[in-house]
Amino acid sequence: MQISVTTRTRASTIAGIAALALIGLGLILPAFASRSVIQDLFFILTLLTLAQLWNLIAGYGGMVSIGQQAFVGIGAYAMFAGVILWGWDPIAAIPLGLGAALVLAVPMAFFAFRLQGAYFAIGTWVIAEVTRLLVAQWKTLGGGTGTSLPREATADIWGVKAIAALLGLRDAAARDVLAYWLALAMAVGTMAAIYILLRSRNGLALAAVRDNDNAARSVGVDAARLKWAVFLSAAAMTGMVGALIFLQTARISPDAAFSVTTWTAYVIFIVVIGGIGRLEGPIIGVLVFWGLQTAFADYGSWYLFSLGLIAIAVMLFAPRGLWGLFTDRTGIALFPVQRRLTTTSQGDSRNG
Amino acid sequence: MIWLDTIVQGLLLGGLYALFAAGLSLVFGIMRLVNLAHGDLIVFAAFLILVVVQMTGLNPFLGALIAAPLLFAFGWLVQRVVLNRVLGKDILPPLLVTFGLSIALQNGMLEVFSADSQRLRAGPLESASVDLGPVTVGIMPLLTFASAVMVIFALNQIFYRTALGRAFRATSDDPVTASLMGINPASVFAIATGLAMVTVTIAALFLGMRSNFDPSIGPARLIFAFEAVIIGGLGSLWGTLLGGAIIGVAQTVGAQINPEWQILAGHLAFLAVLLVRPRGLFPRAVD
């Protein structure tokens, strides 16, 4: 009898096939979906990516940051700088967002990793505020009031003409399709990377550090190196998503780009409602968030009022989130990372 | 001479921040609760005082006297019913609950009181000033600073001279052992939050008399308050006063150099202190 370690379950095999089918459907969707559906999906996919990244650092890494808006903002501003100051194509300028966020993340990590728990949370928030105030001094990019992408730059973005011709759309709609495809690629890429990380040795080490720092170190895990790696990669990717979001809106201001409510509070809401520390959580969370928004957005502040009460209720009655509630009852995990021992009978003859 | 004036004004501004922070320092020190709704609770208290003043025609100081017990009860109830159930080793559940409370409060107030700026009228007191030799200071900032010192002094007396204060400190150090000695952490926490809401009432009184307020200004007040608490060190109330003063002076000095740098200078001072002392200047308790 042979014993092996596996993470695969029947549910995960089905989920894997379904995920591939969904990605395929997502790719060809612009051929028949309306523009507003594409815009909604862009919104969902970018928020989902941000939520997965926050889930990675907080849910798996144990670093509760409320300063992620710093990376969204700096990434978006780096993209605008590339377009406005150096005349780059907006698509080519998106990776600038990644670079800028990385450059900001290094000093931020140096500083914040000295702090624990609540101090870490507040410290990251203050750094994000400082970044916002400094960027607001940058007069060539509009200072405190912000600026728009120049019309010449948005008129001929790489690939827009080809998409317009291919799908028979006008330029504005083709721009949305392009942004949507990029958002899809980022969401799928981020989730795949996180899933692969979590199933690797490093993923196991990361969970060990989160659950008990000292115990993890005593069995030889290099906790500091892991935290650095996770924090920096999440920051860089967050910057790139920020650049993409503001490519689509084509207008930026410090208050919008560094909004703690939109880019961190709502993201935390999504992760925690869905279920923190699991890959399925943010997916459920973003669907709930979007559903609430479409259904009740007309009620203005009463909608946000209820959102606040829902956050409180979920924490009181389902502290592990909606997906946690479901998986505790059924034991089903779509993207399992739990290692299980299984026995296979074919090993009998070999092992004698 | 202009610098002396700047520093004095900064110290007095620091008194307001210390008032914002006193309640936060209390709950953060005792139960490690990161209350993201603290700023909105200050604004909520200011609106409550305004309603009392408008209904009774009393002056704001007496209005605050009526509002205080109501807010004590509110804080006690929120802690008992909601916050006690999510406190634990993990800081995320209370973070999300208080974030939910913050969003709900902000938008609830927006619906009820509208986005209009309001103010608590204090009559001639608002613009009165007193000549202190080289500098002239407003009566209102002076009164704010004096109240901050009194609030911190009173809290310290409770903390170190009463049985309740002993229970606060014991629960802060180790809730499990404290409960073995017959202390009920749940009710200690509820009283602490109630007390914090009384200091919030005083902070709201001065916020409302010194400047305009509307439902959206809570979060900015929260971040100053947190900076003051963290600079001072966990559980140190006098440290919180000093923290407020450091933020206040940094802000006025920054504004003196360039008006756009006021808020930035405060944040930078906070980061500088934290860089040197990651646990603040005078931490009383350990995390």
Q: Give B17-45 pLDDT, tens digit per residue.
A: 999 999 999 988 888 888 889 999 999 99
Contact B112/A at CB under 8 A: no
CB atoms A301 and B97 under 8 Å: no
Contact A129/B at CB under 8 A: yes
pLDDT at A72: 97
Select the residue from A126, A268, A289 to test the B interface by mutation, using most B Cβ atoms within 10 A: A126
CB atoms A308 and B110 under 8 Å: no
Query: What's the CATH architecture for A10-338?
Result: Orthogonal Bundle (1.10)
* pLDDT(B165) > 80: yes
**3-state DSSP call for residue A125?**
helix
CA-to-CA distance for B27 and B35, rounded, in angstroms?
8
Contact B82/A at CB under 8 A: yes
pLDDT at B96: 84
Closest CA to B156 of B12, B19, B22, B7: B22
Torsion of CA A193, A195, A198, A201, to 10 degrees: -70
Domain locations in chain A? Answer: 10-338
pLDDT band at B286 (very low <50, low <70, confident <90, very high): low
Q: Which residues pair with A148 in a beta bridge?
A: A251
CB atoms B99 and A126 under 8 Å: no
Percent of chain A with pLDDT strictly greater than 90: 45
Would you say B32 and B157 are in contact if contact means Cβ atoms under 8 Å apart? no
Average of pLDDT values for B262-285? 88
pLDDT at A65: 92
Q: A128 CB contacts (<8 Å, ≥6 apart)?
A: A66, A67, A68, A69, A70, A73, A258, A260, A264
Q: A225 CB contacts (<8 Å, ≥6 apart)?
A: none
How far is it between the farthest Cα atoms of chain A? 77
Taking all residues of chain B, what is their mean pLDDT, rounded to a whole number? 90
Average of pLDDT values for B43-61? 93
Contact B106/A at CB under 8 A: yes
CB atoms B100 and A310 under 8 Å: yes
CA-to-CA distance for B43 and B217, rounded, in angstroms?
7
Contact A145/B at CB under 8 A: no
CA-to-CA distance for A67 and A259, rounded, in angstroms?
10
* pLDDT(A348) > 50: no
* pLDDT(A331) > 90: no
Q: Count Cβ–Cβ pairs < 8 Å, chain A vs chain B.
A: 117
Give the residue on B whose Cα is nearest the Cα of A128: B267
Query: What is the nearest CA distance from B17 to chain A, expressed in angstroms?
Result: 16
Select the residue from A63, A68, A305 to test the B interface by mutation, using most B Cβ atoms within 10 A: A305
pLDDT in tens, A41-98: 999 999 999 999 999 999 888 888 989 999 999 999 999 999 999 989 999 999 999 9
pLDDT at A349: 44
Query: How far are the Cα atoms of A215, A226, A328, B38, B136 from residue A210, in angstroms, in the given order?
Result: 10, 11, 21, 28, 54
pLDDT at A97: 96
What's the token pair of residue B10?
């900064």
Contact A318/B at CB under 8 A: no
For residue A134, the chain B residues in CB contact (below 8 A) are 264
For residue A133, the chain B residues in CB contact (below 8 A) are 263-264, 267
pLDDT at A350: 44
pLDDT at A7: 79
Q: From the list A64, A134, A307, which residue is nearest B92 (CB)?
A: A64
CA-to-CA distance for A258 and A136, rounded, in angstroms?
10
CB atoms A117 and B82 under 8 Å: no
CA-to-CA distance for B113 and A187, rounded, in angstroms?
41
Average of pLDDT values for B263-277? 92
ipTM greater than cut 0.85:
yes
Pick left, alpha or beta for residue A326 (phi over 0 → left; psi -120 to 50 → alpha; otherwise beta). Answer: alpha
* Most confident residue range from A133-142, A231-240, B255-264: A231-240
CA-to-CA distance for A258 and A248, rounded, in angstroms?
16
**Cβ–Cβ contacts within 10 Å for residue B72, how many?**
19
Helices (H), A55-170: 69-86, 90-112, 117-135, 151-155, 160-167
DSSP chain B: -HHHHHHHHHHHHHHHHHHHHHHHHHHHHHH----TTHHHHHHHHHHHHHHHHHHH---HHHHHHHHHHHHHHHHHHHHHHTGGGT-SS-SHHHHHHHHHHHHHHHHHHHHHH-S--B----GGGGT-EEEETTEEEEHHHHHHHHHHHHHHHHHHHHHHHSHHHHHHHHHHH-HHHHHHTT--HHHHHHHHHHHHHHHHHHHHHHHHHHS-B-TT-HHHHHHHHHHHHHHH-TT-HHHHHHHHHHHHHHHHHHHHH-GGGHHHHHHHHHHHHHHH-TT-SS--S--
Would you say B185 and B95 are in contact if contact means Cβ atoms under 8 Å apart? no
- Cα B139 to chain center, whole Å? 21
Query: How far are the Cα atoms of A198, A214, B233, B278, B287 from residue B173, in angstroms, in the given order?
Result: 36, 22, 15, 19, 9
Select the residue from B79, B96, B257 to test the A interface by mutation, using most A Cβ atoms within 10 A: B96
Q: From the list A66, A116, A312, which residue is nearest B82 (CB)?
A: A312
For residue A129, the chain B residues in CB contact (below 8 A) are 223, 263, 267
CB atoms B100 and A119 under 8 Å: no
pLDDT at B234: 79
Percent of chain B with pLDDT strictly greater than 70: 99
pLDDT in tens, B116-132: 999 988 888 888 888 88
